[in-house]
Amino acid sequence: MILIDNLDIVMSDKDAVSDYMRHHPDNYLPIIYSYARVREIFGSSAVILLDVGDPNLIIMTVRLSKYIDNVISTLDQIMVESDKCICGSRGWLLLTTDFHIV
């Protein structure tokens, strides 16, 4: 969990995220990769949230101050790229937005 603690990510339930990561340590790389790509594409003003959806799903939600037309396809592309980092994992990372303005 130390790797994620050093990133600028908002976690509504840090204990749930920690528990998820203990059970799915192979998801560290996809999470860190997705975080880095979101920062590269959307910049430091993007707010990134990390929450557990169910025992096998972690959700990274991106919030922006201004949404570009292709935000969903951009997030989908990052997810496709990060999926290459998951080898045999039982856990999944969903990268999405809820279109909240920050």
Give the tens place of pLDDT for each residue, 22-77: 999 888 889 999 999 999 999 999 999 999 999 899 999 999 999 989 999 999 99
Helices marked H in 1-102: 2-5, 14-23, 28-42, 71-83
| Residue 40 CB-density burial (10 A; 0-12 exposed, 13-18 middle, 19+ buried) | exposed
Report residue 90's pLDDT band, with 50, 70 and 90 as the boundaries.
Answer: confident
Range(s) of the domain holding residue 65: 2-101
pLDDT tops 70 at residue 87: no
Q: How many domains does the chain have?
A: 1
CB contact set of 7 (below 8 Å; sequence gap of 6+): 32, 35, 48
The verdict on pTM exceeding 0.85 is: yes
Q: According to the model, what pLDDT value does residue 86 have?
A: 67
